[in-house]
Amino acid sequence: MLSVSELRKDYGSTKALDGVSFDVNPGEIFGLLGPNGAGKTTTIRIALGIIDPDSGTVLFGGKPLNVGMKDSLAYLPEERGLYRKSKVIDVLVYFGGLRSIPPAEARERAMRWLKRLELAAVSNRKVDELSKGMQQKVQFISCLLHEPDLLILDEPFSGLDPVNQIVMKDIIRDMKSQGKTIIFSTHQMEQAEKLCDRICLINEGKVVLYGSLGEIKRNHGDDTIHMEFEGDSSSLRKLENMATMEVYENYAELRTREGISRQEFLRQAISLVDVTKFSVEEASLNSIFIEAVKGDKTGGRNVA
């Protein structure tokens, strides 16, 4: 569907992208992940032809992007915005028009979507008069009017309340069942873990993890300790002999060093806090993410 190879882009002396490559298969939900400033948005902008890369190629179905192909793409930018002084329905018809949908058709589709998202009553209001959540939903609709084959969503859930997040997720799943491809960019791993088939993790302009979510998790082993507890979390942080350890207020995820048994760790932990749940499973995407990003920073980066 989309094939990105060896993208490079410099902004002055900072390397925004340093050889990013990945493929997105038709019909999948693909997670483009990474911390803030990793290069996710730059990658998306280049893929959509908004900016040009310094080098590298972007192919859609084996062909470089042209204006006609843009009609089958959709993009929801991270920073949202609509024409504030215009009517909701007019804005939607305009965005439909930009994707070659005739006005009458666009109006009909827009009304259908507004009804589905319970916004029909505000179709003649100015965007300004809508709540933030409503505006986000309107903008989401603007991406769907032309029934795109590829939908690129940059942090689609940020700023949405849980109820609306569920509405959006349902729509995304719907799109997938219709055979559409979705690229989902986020730094919130819990979201990605629930939705994505495959992921590409970028850090400092480089791909650090890439593949199917299941495979990545399996490669990471199934020996990660997930522990819930009550008590002083800081005492846990002082424990030694840990390969990796993420400690939160009443949750910790960790792996022990080789040679140190889990029983040994549990004994120590019990003496420090009140353990309420203890299990050994696959690592969460969040800790894989943190590990990969940290390892990338401290690990073998050659200083020239």
Q: Which of residues 56-95 bind other proteins (CB under 8 A)?
A: 67-68, 70-71, 73-75, 77, 79-86, 90, 94-95
Cβ proximity to other proteins: between 57 and 276 the closer is 57
Does residue 45 belong to the site contacting other proteins (CB under 8 A)? yes
Quick check: 270 binds other proteins (CB under 8 A)? no
Specify the pairing of strand 181-186 against strand 150-154: parallel
Which is closer to other proteins, CB of 83 or CB of 251?
83
Cβ partners under 8 Å of residue 17, min gap 6: 7, 8, 9, 39, 42, 43, 46, 53, 56, 205
CB of 96 to other proteins, least distance (A): 9
Structure tokens at 23: 């493929």
Which residue number, 109 or 220, has a Cβ lying nearer to other proteins? 109
Q: Which residues contact 149 (CB under 8 A, 6 or more apart)?
A: 1, 72, 73, 180, 181
Minimal distance, residue 87 CB to other proteins, in Å: 9
Q: Which of 97, 133, 211, 231 binds other proteins (CB under 8 A)?
A: 97
How far is it, in rounded angstroms, from Cα 195 to Cα 168? 12
Question: Is the CB of 50 or the CB of 280 nearer to other proteins?
Answer: 50
* Residue 106-145 contact track with other proteins, rule CB under 8 A, x = bound: ------------------------------------x---
Taking the complex as a whole, the smallest distance from the CB of residue 128 to other proteins amounts, in Å, to: 11
* Residue 98 or 266 having the CB closest to other proteins: 98
What is the distance between the alpha carbons of residues 107 and 118, in angstroms, rounded to a whole number? Answer: 16
Closest among 54, 58, 65 to 18, alpha carbons compared:
54
Report CA-CA distances (Å) from 124 to 80, 97, 103, 120, 128. Answer: 20, 18, 16, 9, 12
For binding to other proteins (CB under 8 A), which residues are involved?
A: 45, 48-52, 67-68, 70-71, 73-75, 77, 79-86, 90, 94-95, 97-100, 142
